[in-house]
Amino acid sequence: MGFIGDIWVAAIERPMINALVLLYHVFFNNFGLSIIVFTVIIRVIMFPLTVKQANFTKKMAALQPKMQEINTKYAKDPQKKSQETMKLYREAGFNPLGCLGPVLIQFPIWIGLYRAIIETLPTTPDKLADLSQNLYSWAAPIVQEVIPLSGSFLGADLAKRSQEYPLPASLILPVLVGISMYFMQKMTMTPSASPSQESTNRMMLWMLPVMFGFFTLQFSSGLALYWIVSNIIGIIIQGFITGWEPLTGLFRKKVPKPATAPALTVSNQEVIAPNEDNRDNSEDSRRSDRTGTKGAKRRPRGSRNRRR
């Protein structure tokens, strides 16, 4: 375990610590700006994987009509449905596990950044000495003048956890993390081909924002800032590749569909088409009605003449 821990420190934690300290020195001794720039750098490095994930979502949406046909056709044969689905994936050159790459890479980044923030913002002289040991020899002279670093950013201490702030300030970062995670999930969620998949997507859409919002209470505020900026960048990249419909659909007012009149059924009756014979008959009937009416009006006059 010690050997693995040394590899972890040398490959992940120490580079992150030095990157944060150097960015702090460059960006006006502001630790919040250093985390934001660090997030942008990480996103640039991961850009090929992010594009791959976005294309995965786009291709998955294109396959949904065929997948729905397979689910309908083989609804009572799960084994055949699975075989036909995998066949469809092979024919389309589609790997259903292709979206897991960026997610799996993010986990060591989150853990490493959490540790780097703790090491970079020491609270005791002993931890400050540990920070100096983690700095590269070529970087030490450059950053000696900025140590110790200040974690203050927009009135918050990025070394503290959100739960250490009084209410309602302790809820600001968790709410922002949850909202950004919800929009990110909405943009990257693959369309559902079955009711069970739709139920799973709906559960994940709400479960992940709540889970990450809870994590924000437990971890340092600097890590929450990283999550928020990373989600915003991911939403922008996803929108330019696959479109903004998942987000615009949330704010578009839904117009109810007009109700259709029920179809009228005629039983044991014949429908007579309005041909010319029928029109002639109707005209004759109207003439006879008018004639009969006029005759009825003249009769009272005749009666008056007879009285005279």
Residues 6+ apart with CB under 8 A from 179: 209
- Whether 260 maps to a domain, the answer reads no
Burial class (CB in 10 A: 0-12, 13-18, 19+), 129: exposed
Phi, psi angle pair for 156, to nearest 5°: -115, 155
Q: pLDDT > 70: what percent of the chain?
A: 76
Convert the pLDDT of each residue in 178-220 to its tens digit. 999 999 888 877 766 667 677 777 888 888 889 988 988 888 8
- Whether 66 maps to a domain, the answer reads yes
- Whether 56 maps to a domain, the answer reads yes
Number of domains in the chain: 1
Residue 64 pLDDT grade (very low, low, confident, very high; cuts 50, 70, 90):
confident
Residue 259, number of CB atoms within 10 A of its CB: 6
Residues 6+ apart with CB under 8 A from 210: 178
Closest CA to 30 of 178, 118, 155: 155
What does the alpha-carbon distance between residue 86 and residue 89 come to, in Å, rounded to a whole number?
5
Convert the pLDDT of each residue in 85-103 to its tens digit. 888 877 777 666 666 666 7
Closest CA to 42 of 131, 99, 128, 105: 105
In the prediction, which pLDDT does 16 show? 92
In the prediction, which pLDDT does 256 show? 57
Residues 6+ apart with CB under 8 A from 206: 182
- Whether 77 maps to a domain, the answer reads yes
- Whether 257 maps to a domain, the answer reads no
Tell whether omega for the bond before 48 is within 30 degrees of 0, i.e. cis: no
Convert the pLDDT of each residue in 143-172 to its tens digit. 777 777 888 898 888 988 888 888 888 889
Assess whether pLDDT exceeds 60 at residue 138. Answer: yes
Convert the pLDDT of each residue in 236-254 to its tens digit. 988 888 888 888 877 776 5
- Whether 298 maps to a domain, the answer reads no
In the prediction, which pLDDT does 100 show? 65
**87: containing domain:** 2-194+209-248
In the prediction, which pLDDT does 159 show? 87
Output the pTM of the full model: 0.73
DSSP-derived 3-state class of residue 220: strand
- Whether 199 maps to a domain, the answer reads no
Closest CA to 17 of 163, 124, 127: 127
E strands in the chain:
152-153, 156-157
Q: pLDDT > 90: what percent of the chain?
A: 17
In the prediction, which pLDDT does 142 show? 74
- Whether 280 maps to a domain, the answer reads no
What does the alpha-carbon distance between residue 17 and residue 117 come to, in Å, rounded to a whole number?
7
Q: What is the chain's mean pLDDT, rounded?
A: 77
